[in-house]
Amino acid sequence: MSQIPDDAIKCLDKGFVRLVDSMGGDDAIVQAARVSYGKGTSKVSQDRGLIRYLMRHRHTTPFEMVEFKFHCKMPIFVARQWVRHRTANINEYSLRYSEARDEFYYPDPEHIQFQSSLNKQGRTGEVPEELKKKVQDYFKEISHRSFEIYSELNEAGVARELARAVLPVNLYTEWYWKNDLHNLLHFIGLRSDSHAQYEIRVYSDAMAESVKAVAPFAWEAYQDYVVSGLRFSRIEQSLLEQNLPARVIEDILEDLAYQITATLHKNKPRDENGLYSLYQKQGGSDSEDDFKLKWDSGEIETGNVRELREFKEKLISLKK
Ligand SMILES: Cc1cc2nc3c(=O)[nH]c(=O)nc-3n(C[C@H](O)[C@H](O)[C@H](O)COP(=O)(O)OP(=O)(O)OC[C@H]3O[C@@H](n4cnc5c(N)ncnc54)[C@H](O)[C@@H]3O)c2cc1C
C-alpha cells in the first residue's frame, strides 16, 4: 500500500489525500454559464460576480464542469462513510487481488473521548489517561492478532477474498476518487461540518485545500453563501416578522439605499448633482443635507448592486 507521497496532505496517522489531476477552474464555470446567459463580459471582477451569482441562486450545473481526481488512503470505516457519496467515480485497492498490508489506524490520545449523551453520533469529554491507554492497547492488540490470523490463512492458501474478512475496519484502504466541484462541495458541506466524524472530517478538510487552490472564486462564494449563508424557515420568518421592530428594518433599508447609490456611482460615475435623486430612487429618505453629510463622510460601503437589491427584497418581505 502507498506510503505518503511528497505532494499529499497527511491525514490521520497513516493516510493521505493527494490531488492527482483536475480539469478546469473558475474559468470553466464562467465559460459554461455564459452559454446559458449569452455573450458576456470577461473581466476578472465580472467573472467573480457571475460565480457569486450562480452560487447564490443555486445554479449548480456550471460548477459540475470542474473535475477533481484524488488519490486517498483512509481506514475502511472512513471509506464506508465516504462511499455513501454516490456521484463519485471510484477505484479501490482490491483485497481479492492483492494481499492486505499491516497498516491499521490507531487514534491519537486526544481523539479518544466518551460517547456523547446529547449527540448520539458524537464523542465528548476528557477520558482518563488510563482508559486512553487501554483503548490504544486494544486497537493494537486486535489489529496485530487479526493480521497474524490473516497471514496464517494466506500462507495456508485460503482465498484472499475470504481471509480478508477477519480484518477489522481500522485497516487502511486506498482509492482513486473523482468528482465534480458541485458534488465535492456537497461532500465538504456534510463532511467538514462539526457534526461529521473527526476521522472523515480531516479528509474533507484536506480536499477543501484543493478546491481553494483550483477554484478560488467558487470557494469564496461557497463560504459566503453556503457555509455562512442563513436560511429561515416559514415559522422562523413569521417570528421575525412579528418581533423585529420596523425601525430596525427601516435603518438597514436606509443603509442599503446609500450602499446601492455608492455602488452604482462607483460602477458608472454620475454627475454629483444627480446623486441625491439616484439615492431617492433606491428608497432613501434622508433630507438632501443629511445625504450630503453622509456622502462626504466617505463611510459608505459598496458591494454588488444585484446582491444588495436582493437583500433589500428580503428585508421588505419581513416588513408587515
Ligand atoms: C453527520 C452524518 C450522519 C449520517 N448518519 C447516517 C446514518 O446514521 N445512517 C446512514 O445510512 N447514513 C448516514 N449518513 C449518510 C447520509 O444519509 C448520506 O447518505 C450521505 O451523507 C450522502 O449524502 P447524499 O446522498 O446527499 O450525497 P450523494 O450521494 O453525493 O448525492 C448528492 C446528491 O445527488 C442526489 N442523488 C445522488 N444519487 C441519487 C439517487 N440514487 N437518487 C436520488 N438522488 C440522488 C441527491 O440529491 C443527493 O443529495 C450520515 C451522513 C452525515 C453527514
Nearest CA to ligand 1 atom 45: 86
Compute the distance from residue 84 Cα to the ligand 1 centre, in Å: 6
What atom of ligand 1 comes closest to residue 196's alpha carbon? 1
Cα 274 to middle of ligand 1, angstroms: 54
Residue by residue, pLDDT tens for the chain (320 residues) are 678 888 999 999 999 999 999 999 999 999 999 886 665 556 777 899 999 999 999 999 999 999 999 999 999 999 999 999 999 999 999 999 899 999 999 999 999 998 888 888 888 888 899 999 999 999 999 999 999 999 999 999 999 999 999 999 999 999 999 999 999 999 999 999 999 999 999 999 999 999 999 999 999 999 999 999 999 999 999 998 888 888 999 999 999 999 999 999 999 999 989 999 999 999 999 999 999 999 999 899 999 999 999 999 999 988 86
Ligand 1 midpoint to CA 195 (Å) = 14
Q: Are 175 and 90 in contact (CB under 8 A)?
A: yes
Q: How far is the CA of 82 from the centre of ligand 1 (A)?
A: 10
Share in percent of the chain as helix, strand, coil (round to 5): 55, 10, 30
- Which residue lies with its CA nearest to atom 39 of ligand 1? 86
Q: Known catalytic residues?
A: 191
The residue length of the chain stands at 320
Q: Which residues line ligand 1 (CB under 6 A)?
A: 84-87, 121, 183, 186, 190, 195-196
Q: Do the Cβ atoms of 154 and 160 come closer than 8 Å?
A: yes
Amino acid code (one letter) for 115: Q
- Sign, CA dihedral 270-293-278-251, equals positive
SS3 state at 299: coil
Q: All 3 cell numbers of residue 193?
A: 461540518
Show the beta-strand stretches assigned E in 12-154.
15-23, 67-75, 89-92, 114-115, 123-124
- Helix or strand holding residue 35 (H, E): helix 26-37
- Cβ-contact 270, 245 below 8 angstroms: no
In 10 A of CB 179, how many CB atoms?
Answer: 22
CB 255 within 8 A of CB 300: no
Q: From the CB of residue 32, how many other CB atoms can be counted at a distance below 10 Å? A: 17
**Which residues are paired to 115 by β-bridges?**
123
- Listed by start position, the domains of the chain span 9-227, 234-318
Residue with the smallest CA separation from ligand 1 atom 26 is 85
Query: Distance between CA 196 and CA 199 in Å, rounded?
Result: 8
d(CA 185, CA 64): 10
DSSP 6-18: TTSEEETTTEEEE
Report DSSP letters for 259-297, one per residue: HHHHHHHHHS---GGGHHHHHHHTT--S-HHHHHHHHHH
Distance CA 173, CA 2 (A): 10
Q: CA–CA distance from 133 to each of 127, 130, 136, 140 (Å)?
A: 10, 5, 5, 11
Cα separation, 163 vs 99, whole angstroms: 10
> One-letter amino acid identity for 230?
L
| Ligand 1 pocket: which of 64, 87, 89 to mutate (most atoms within 8 A of CB) | 87
How many Å apart are CA 121 and CA 67, to the nearest integer?
Answer: 31
H/E element holding 179?
A: strand 172-180
At the top level of CATH, the class of 9-227 is alpha beta
Specify the ligand 1 atom closest to the Cα of 197. 1
Say what the pLDDT of residue 41 is.
55
Burial class (CB in 10 A: 0-12, 13-18, 19+), 43: exposed
The CA angle 27-30-32, to the nearest 5 degrees, is 110
Residue 207, classed as helix, strand or coil, is: helix
Residue 115's pLDDT is what? 85
